[in-house]
Structure 1
Amino acid sequence: MKRAHRQRKPAKKHVIEAEAWDEEVEEEPSETEAYEPEPDETGWTTSTAKMAGLSRLVRVGVWALVASGPVLGVLAFLGSSGPAQGVTKPVAAATPASPVGPAGFAELFVSAYLQAGQGSERDLAPYYSGSVALAVKPGTRTATQSTVIASREVQPGYWSVTVAADVTAHDDKGKSKRLGVQYFRVGIQATGPAGAGGTEQGPATAGYAATSLPAQVAAPTALKPGGLAYETERGASSADPSVETARGFLAAYLTGTTELDRYTSPGTRLQPINPAPYAAVKVTGVQDDLSGSGQQKVPADGTVLHQLVQIDATDQAGSPVALSYALTLKSRAGRWEVSSVDDAPAIRASSPPSAAPPTTPSPDAATATPSPSPSNS
């Protein structure tokens, strides 16, 4: 017997254009019996009410994703900005220890030491905390000038500093006698940052202490300068065009009587000494590095000439002052022009300085290690 098929009549709905997803659509009851599907072969049944619930569930999930979008974005950004796993962070380069602080402290210590005497030992306390007993009368010696000529870090934070002092002696009658330049070596311990001579690599308070009283040492070995590169002697002849240029330039440079531009190459920036220290300039000797006995004719454009010029400059009081200037000249348009005032006279590269034989054996103040001395407690 065949089952009688039911007549399907769709339910009438009011179509509503919802502005929000969560508005429900109401259905009008059908005049005929609503069609309820029977379970299919899988056992699932579908109804209008169940579909509406599923739709609401989907809409809630979509809104949850939209609301959590900014939070997920922030978490992703923070995760990507963190340090990558396995990537080695760059290590900051260590700051090299500076000798400036220990050197200045040693210079002050030597000056105080030379001035101190019996009864004024406490003046050395800021520099040296060891026991001190001086027999000399205070003020017997003074350092009219002093400077550091060598400093070397013998251990981390521990420095050997050599100070040159121009010493003057004073007797009981008030007379003074210059003893000349004497050399004193001091051991200085430094604490604090490496920039102050210590061992720390970060911000720290610097401190210094001498490990003993100064030790007087011999002068450093004198050197005989290497050969100069100026092999040709020109004398003070005014007939040489290069000498004329040097004379005019130095007169303008030291006296300010004329402009430098007429003696310098285009683009050369040199300023005269202001105020002018001298009233007149006299060339007493000129050496250069061009071969030939005479240079009456200026060579081709672009030729470079190095000069060493000796002069007597007369000051405002009429006293002559001997000076030397190393100049570089270039030829242009049939004349010599000054292109620079050199930092130092040129020497031949094949002629390094040599040590003069010392009269007595003595350690080199620049490289010798100070004798061991007890550290401050």
Structure 2
Amino acid sequence: MKRQRRPRKASRRQLASGEAWDDEIEEIQKTPADEPDETGWKTSTAHMAGLSRLVRAGVWALVASGPVLGTLAFLSSSAPAQGAAKPVARTASASPVGPAGFAELFVATYLQAGQGTERVLAPYYSGAVALAVKPGTRTVTQSTVIASREVQPGYWAVTVAANVTAHDDKGKSERRSVQYFRVGIQTTGQAGTEQGDTTVGYAATSLPAQVASPTALKPGDLAYETDRGSSSADPSVETARGFLAAYLTGTTELDRYTSPGTRLQAISPAPYAALKVTGVQDDSLGAGQQKVPADGTVLHQHVQVDATDQAGSPVSLSYALTLKSRAGRWEVASVDDAPAIRASSPPSAAPHTTTPSPDEAAATPSLSPSNS
């Protein structure tokens, strides 16, 4: 009996599902086969049903592929871009400022040190030193660096010029000529760069070496061949006198003596109370020519003056001026940076060396046996 009931139940289910399927078919058949939409296109029922199945399939495909696409996106974002430029480490440019300043301090301290005070050199030079000179025999009134060259990365050769004054046992002082000392300065960390790194370190590799002075130059001839003296009868001299008086004493306005459009300012506050012209040279052709030439003519002057300060003391100065003529008068067009020299006669070099005096030779420090 049980085996006969099962087929009946199965057949009943198949019949019910078949009837439901027939009902759906009847609903579909009741729908017009061809019904135009608002746009005028005709859509068939079978076409719309197939399109609906296709859309459902596409949605399920996207849902199923979501994890795969997410993994691919993560991997692509973490991988380095092929066309991206790799960052380049910035290299700090070497600067001689630090080594130069350290060398200047070292030389000044060295010149004033002596026997028994070698410890003052420890911040600059860690080697064992025994100085033979008496402390205080030499003092430095002024020093400056005149040359600095990086001979190896982080290693500098620095030359220091110093005004040295010698002192004897009787308390008498004598000013020596300018002396020159070269010293090797080694740098560590970020040393020698423009970055303010607190790890920068400097150290002298030896005691200073006294060297000869740089080559002395004899100045070339100035390009002012005509001597005007200090005559007040010359219009160009009068213009220079009035302009420099206004420039240095502030008694009058500069505009009275300058060309239109020239931007010059008087020194403020005025450092001098009075001015006297002591000599004028220019590059004009005729010494006796005093008439102002045609407009636009250019004249270069070299003017020497004695300016008296507020205390009544005269100070000698010289100025290079460029004048231009306009409307029958000379006007100052510029205050030149330096006097003009002849292009055909460059400065000539004359060798010059400084030989230490017997006192200076005796003051030369000696090294201890450990350094020899």
Q: Does 1:116 align with 2:119?
A: no
Decide whether aligned partners of structure 1 residues 250 and 202 sit closer, same or farther in structure 2, where only a CA change above 3 A counts.
closer
Q: Select the residue among 301, 308, 312 that pairs with 2:302.
A: 308
Shift, 1:168, TM fit: 1.3
Q: Does 1:137 align with 2:131?
A: no
Q: Deviations over 1:206-260 (max 9, x none)?
A: 2211111111222222111112111221111111111111101111111111111
Whether contact under 8 Å (2:213, 2:354) holds in the other structure is no
| In 1, Cα distance between equivalents of 2:260 and 2:51 | 94
Whether contact under 8 Å (1:116, 1:138) holds in the other structure is yes
Q: For 2:229, what is the secondary structure of its paired residue?
A: coil
Decide whether aligned partners of structure 1 residues 166 and 202 sit closer, same or farther in structure 2, where only a CA change above 3 A counts.
closer
Q: Does 1:150 align with 2:122?
A: no
| In 1, Cα distance between equivalents of 2:322 and 2:270 | 22
Q: Does 1:84 align with 2:80?
A: no
Which is helix-richer, 1 or 2?
2
> What TM-score comes out, normalization by structure 2 length?
0.73
Aligned-partner residue type, residue 331 of structure 1? S
Decide whether aligned partners of structure 1 residues 260 and 51 sit closer, same or farther in structure 2, where only a CA change above 3 A counts.
closer
Q: For 1:103, what is the secondary structure of its paired residue?
A: helix
Whether contact under 8 Å (1:228, 1:345) holds in the other structure is yes
| In 1, Cα distance between equivalents of 2:307 and 2:47 | 118
> In the alignment, what sits opposite 2:232?
238
> In the alignment, what sits opposite 1:285?
279
| In 2, Cα distance between equivalents of 1:165 and 1:120 | 21
Whether contact under 8 Å (2:189, 2:199) holds in the other structure is yes
Whether contact under 8 Å (1:241, 1:295) holds in the other structure is no
> In the alignment, what sits opposite 1:371?
none
Q: Deviations over 1:306-364 (max 9, x none)?
A: 111011111222222111111111222221111221111111222221112447899xx
Q: CA RMSD of the aligned region, Å?
A: 4.0
Q: Deviations over 1:99-145 (max 9, x none)?
A: 22211111111110111112211111111111111122222211011
Q: Does 1:180 align with 2:177?
A: yes
Decide whether aligned partners of structure 1 residues 83 and 140 sit closer, same or farther in structure 2, where only a CA change above 3 A counts.
farther
| In 2, Cα distance between equivalents of 1:349 and 1:131 | 54
Deviates more, 1:150-159 or 1:321-330: 150-159
| In 2, Cα distance between equivalents of 1:151 and 1:344 | 26
Decide whether aligned partners of structure 1 residues 51 and 309 sit closer, same or farther in structure 2, where only a CA change above 3 A counts.
closer
Shift, 1:195, TM fit: 5.1
> What TM-score comes out, normalization by structure 1 length?
0.72
Decide whether aligned partners of structure 1 residues 335 and 60 sit closer, same or farther in structure 2, where only a CA change above 3 A counts.
farther
Whether contact under 8 Å (1:328, 1:341) holds in the other structure is yes
| In 2, Cα distance between equivalents of 1:32 and 1:339 | 107
Whether contact under 8 Å (2:98, 2:191) holds in the other structure is no
| In 1, Cα distance between equivalents of 2:330 and 2:336 | 16
> In the alignment, what sits opposite 1:219?
213
Shift, 1:265, TM fit: 1.7
Q: Does 1:343 align with 2:337?
A: yes
Deviates more, 1:278-287 or 1:315-324: 315-324
> In the alignment, what sits opposite 1:369?
none
The aligned length equals 320
| In 1, Cα distance between equivalents of 2:27 and 2:268 | 117
| In 1, Cα distance between equivalents of 2:52 and 2:93 | 77
| In 2, Cα distance between equivalents of 1:161 and 1:215 | 11
Whether contact under 8 Å (2:235, 2:329) holds in the other structure is yes
> In the alignment, what sits opposite 1:189?
186
Decide whether aligned partners of structure 1 residues 361 and 117 sit closer, same or farther in structure 2, where only a CA change above 3 A counts.
closer
Shift, 1:56, TM fit: 2.6
> In the alignment, what sits opposite 1:41?
none
> In the alignment, what sits opposite 1:57?
57
Shift, 1:203, TM fit: 6.5
| In 2, Cα distance between equivalents of 1:127 and 1:119 | 17
| In 2, Cα distance between equivalents of 1:99 and 1:173 | 41
Decide whether aligned partners of structure 1 residues 247 and 33 sit closer, same or farther in structure 2, where only a CA change above 3 A counts.
closer
Aligned-partner residue type, residue 120 of structure 1? T
Aligned-partner residue type, residue 260 of structure 2? P
Q: Deviations over 1:74-93 (max 9, x none)?
A: 99x979x94627x7x69688
